[in-house]
Every structure is written in C-alpha cells, then in structure tokens.
Amino acid sequence: MRTLIKGMIAGAAGTSALNATTYLDMAIRARGGSSTPQDTVERLAEGLHVDLGEEETAENRKEALGTLLGYGTGLGAAVCYATLTRRRASWPVGVLTLTALATIGSNVPMVALGVTDPREWSVSSWVADIVPHVVYGTAAYIAYEQLR
C-alpha cells in the first residue's frame, strides 16, 4: 500500500510539472491547446456507445474527461514505476523509465484509436510532446526518491 501511495504522490508531482511546462510553452509560443485528449474521449465514447450529451454538454464532458485521462496517465505511470522498481534506480534510468511510461501511456491509446499519427508530426510537435514528458519523468523521479 505504501508503494501505491508513493507512486501516486510522485505521479501527481510529475503531472503538475508536465502541465506547468505545457502551459508555459503555450504562453511563450502563443499556441492553443491540443484537441487530442478531447478527440480521444470522443473516440472512446463512440466505441463504447456512450452518449456524452448534446453540443455544449458533450464538449464540456470531453474537455473534462480528456483532462482526467491525463491525470490518470500521470498517476498510473508513476504507480507502475513504483511497482516495478524494488531498488533505487540511477537518475538517468529512473527519469527515462518514467518519461517512457508517461509517453507510452498517453500516446499509444491515441495512436491506436486513430486520433493522431506521430509519423506526421512536425519537429515543433515532437518537442511540445517530449519536453513536458521529460519534465514529468524528472519531477516524478525526484518525488519518488524523496519518499523512499
């Protein structure tokens, strides 16, 4: 149970860092947010035959559920890491592992659902995806190691 709680705390720290990095990037480059979380929710709802409601209601639910998917991914990646690591991992290994878990957890479902195709991403899109995930991995690793 302690491992689960430590993983959740580390995941919350990493997710906060990822979100702050993403919003800072949006502010600096004056870019809009990605629609992929909402598009993912829409595809999931269609596949599960779940009615999200009419126009504004559906849009609000997609936005909220898309955000919650992100939090779930961040918490889940760190809980997986905490469960898999019995001994202290070195800084590079821990950060890269957490970064990979979060990146896979967020991107693989979107690719599988046909929401996005990384082969078509521009360099700036790759940077906008990778940098926040590395920040996530770093923050989650530091938080987890401090809780050990």
Other C-beta atoms within 10 Å of 115: how many? 19
pLDDT tens digits, one per residue of 34-92: 999 999 999 999 999 999 999 999 999 999 999 999 999 999 999 999 999 988 899 99
Answer yes or no: is 60 within a domain: no
Q: What are φ and ψ of residue 33, in 5° steps?
A: -75, 160
Task: Tell me the pLDDT of the chain averaged across its residues.
Answer: 96
Task: Say if 103 falls within a structural domain.
Answer: yes
- Both tokens of 105, joined, read 């957890």
Asked if residue 91 belongs to a domain, the reply is yes
Answer yes or no: is 39 within a domain.
Answer: no
Long-range Cβ pairs for the range 99-105 (8 Å, 24+): 99/133, 99/134, 99/136, 99/137, 99/138, 100/137, 101/77, 102/14, 102/18, 102/73, 102/74, 102/77, 102/133, 102/136, 102/137, 102/140, 103/129, 103/130, 103/133, 105/73, 105/76, 105/77
Cα 18 to Cα 23: distance, rounded to the nearest angstrom: 9
Supply φ then ψ for residue 117, to 5 degrees. -135, 105
Instruction: Quote the number of domains for the chain.
Output: 1
110 in any annotated domain: yes
For residue 86, the model assigns a pLDDT of 82
Of the chain, the percentage scoring pLDDT greater than 70 comes to 100
Q: Is residue 45 part of a domain?
A: no
| 64: in domain | no
Q: pTM, whole model, 2 decimals?
A: 0.93
Give the domain extent around 140. 2-33+69-147
Residue 50, Cα to own-chain centre: how many angstroms? 23
User: Does any domain span residue 141?
Assistant: yes
